[in-house]
Amino acid sequence: MTQNVLILPGDGIGPEIVTEAVKVLETAKQKFNLNIELDNALVGGAAYDEFGTPLPEVTMQKAEKADAILLGAVGGPKWDELDDRELRPEKGLLGLRSGLELFGNLRPAILYPQLADASSLKPEVVSGLDILIVRELTGGIYFGQPRGIRELENGERQGYNTYVYSESEIRRIAKVAFESAQKRGKKLCSVDKANVLEVTVLWREIMNEVAKDYPDVELSHMYVDNAAMQLVRAPKQFDVMVTGNMFGDILSDAAAMLTGSIGMLPSASLDKNNKGMYEPCHGSAPDIAGQGIANPLATILSAAMMLRYSLNESAAADAIEQAVSNVLDQGLRTADIYSDGMKKVSTAEMGEAVVAALANA
Ligand code: NAI
Ligand code: MG
């Protein structure tokens, strides 16, 4: 059966880096005889310019039909002036996430040994780091009701939010996390604050319950404050971490920065059927857009994740990741990961090098 992939280049460096990822996908398609078809649509500022909205109906329809989506990035100063917040490029992205119920956010933090000196931590602490943070993306305190700022009887104002997770929400993110752990090192650490927050007492209970369906995965629990400490002290102790929306927001950004190279980090957001949207962790980098110097590897690695998690083509995913490692071995570096003695390459040269490494593998 043909699997449909929707390509959403977006804004800024989006189209440049997505072009390279598409070349890599086409190469993987040939080499592994993949039955995938690529289609294109506009989102973000590019869609606003053309249709007057960041998420046109035609894009949403294609996204609903697709088995997976590869997105560049959206946004830029050109659209920051828009008074109506609903028309801003980010709304295109949020609309896709909520419209498609992409609740399972996978954020790997991988530090290729070739780039160990990009990290602010000592090489021996981070070299070879390969962890995956699974963040619940559509629930928790970011979405809980009621919320707002109210006036108390004494005239003082009070801000409030509600931290809620239902059993079914916890169960479905647990499933994503256990399945991800099964595809990797089979260790899962669930992060909560069960000593203080009842929500996470339930969270912990459900995690233990779901664990029974995954006897090959070793489950542990950690309080979020300790997890933050452990991430910077000895990050390599982790394989997969799973946590709620807010803790995951913070921990995944911290974990990403352990690697020091924002141009290298892919991400996935999955629904309950493992349909997903895949995108680099970085934004549209307007400061370097149009110069042909952006690092396409985060987007290429996102395409690899897409093959693994949504399209069930693990061999092709492995081969792309291996090809990326191979070009780093060759000393090829875009400006953001450049260091002395290496060979500085453009966006397109980096893409072509991955294509060549993949084709010759
Ligand atoms: P950014 O991630 O776009 O850029 C931060 C810095 O990293 C910049 O100096 C940029 O040049 C550099 N950088 C980012 N990606 C790079 C790559 N692939 N290769 C080399 N260097 C790279 O974040 P910033 O500047 O805060 O936001 C810029 C725009 O992107 C804003 O409009 C923001 O709203 C949007 N944005 C979009 C996201 C998305 O589409 N998922 C996520 C984050 C920001
Ligand atoms: Mg964040």
C-alpha distances in Å from residue 333, one per residue of 16, 29, 49:
16, 26, 34
Which letter does DSSP use for residue 146 in this model? S
pLDDT for 178 = 98
The answer to whether residue 112 is domain-embedded is: no
End position of a domain, from candidates 259, 293, 319: 259
Cα 282 to middle of ligand 1, angstroms: 5
The answer to whether residue 67 is domain-embedded is: yes
Q: Per residue in 5-25, pLDDT tens?
A: 999 999 999 999 999 999 999
**Residues forming a β-bridge with 222:** 191
Domain shared by 8 and 126, yes or no: no
Considering only CA atoms, which residue is closest to atom 20 of ligand 1? 294
Domain shared by 145 and 248, yes or no: yes
Dist CA 107 CA 109 (whole Å)? 7
Average pLDDT estimate for 37-53: 97
235 is known to lie in a ligand binding site: no
Complex-level ipTM beyond the 0.95 threshold: yes
Whether 267 lines ligand 1, by a CB cut-off of 6 Å, is no
Residues carrying an active site annotation? 142, 193, 225, 249, 253
Domain shared by 199 and 237, yes or no: yes
Whether 284 lines ligand 1, by a CB cut-off of 6 Å, is yes
Q: Per residue in 249-301, pLDDT tens?
A: 999 989 988 888 889 999 999 999 999 999 999 999 999 999 999 999 999 99
Q: Is the pLDDT of residue 69 over 90?
A: yes
Nearest ligand 1 atom to the CA of 297 is 18
The first and second tokens of residue 281, run together, are: 């962790």
Domain shared by 276 and 171, yes or no: no
End position of a domain, from candidates 204, 231, 259: 259
The answer to whether residue 357 is domain-embedded is: yes
Are the C-beta atoms of residues 178 and 196 closer than 8 Å to each other?
no
Q: Which structural domain, as residue segments, surrounds residue 217?
A: 120-259
pLDDT for 295 = 97
When divided into structural domains, the chain yields a total of: 2
SS3 content of the chain, % helix, strand, coil (to 5): 50, 20, 35
Cα 350 to middle of ligand 2, angstroms: 28
Domain shared by 13 and 28, yes or no: yes
The answer to whether residue 2 is domain-embedded is: yes
Cα 299 to middle of ligand 2, angstroms: 18
The first and second tokens of residue 339, run together, are: 């260091």
pLDDT for 311 = 97
The answer to whether residue 192 is domain-embedded is: yes
Q: Among residues of the chain, what percentage have pLDDT more than 90?
A: 89
- The mean-pLDDT minimum among 25-39, 102-116, 223-237 falls in 102-116
Considering only CA atoms, which residue is closest to atom 12 of ligand 1? 285
pLDDT bin (cut points 50, 70, 90) of residue 40 is very high
Domain shared by 81 and 143, yes or no: no
Nearest ligand 1 atom to the CA of 288 is 11
CB neighbourhood size of 38 (10 A): 14
Domain shared by 170 and 231, yes or no: yes
Domain shared by 155 and 246, yes or no: yes
Q: Per residue in 164-223, pLDDT tens?
A: 999 999 999 999 999 999 989 999 999 999 999 999 999 999 999 999 999 999 999 999
Domain shared by 99 and 191, yes or no: no
Considering only CA atoms, which residue is closest to atom 44 of ligand 1? 283
Domain shared by 342 and 233, yes or no: no
The answer to whether residue 115 is domain-embedded is: no
pLDDT for 304 = 98
- The pocket of ion ligand 2, defined by CB under 5 A, consists of 249, 253
pLDDT bin (cut points 50, 70, 90) of residue 1 is confident
Domain shared by 181 and 65, yes or no: no
Whether 20 lines ligand 1, by a CB cut-off of 6 Å, is no
The answer to whether residue 45 is domain-embedded is: yes
Kindly report the pTM of this predicted structure.
0.91
End position of a domain, from candidates 195, 226, 259: 259
Q: Is the pLDDT of residue 85 over 90?
A: no
Domain shared by 44 and 91, yes or no: yes
The answer to whether residue 186 is domain-embedded is: yes
Rounded (10°) angle between helices 347-360 and 14-31: 10
Q: Is the pLDDT of residue 330 over 90?
A: yes
pLDDT bin (cut points 50, 70, 90) of residue 116 is confident
What is the domain-level CATH number for residue 181?
3.40.718.10
Cα 105 to middle of ligand 2, angstroms: 12
Q: Closest-lying ligand to the alpha carbon of 255?
A: 2
Of 72, 6, 7, 25, the closest CA to residue 45 belongs to 72
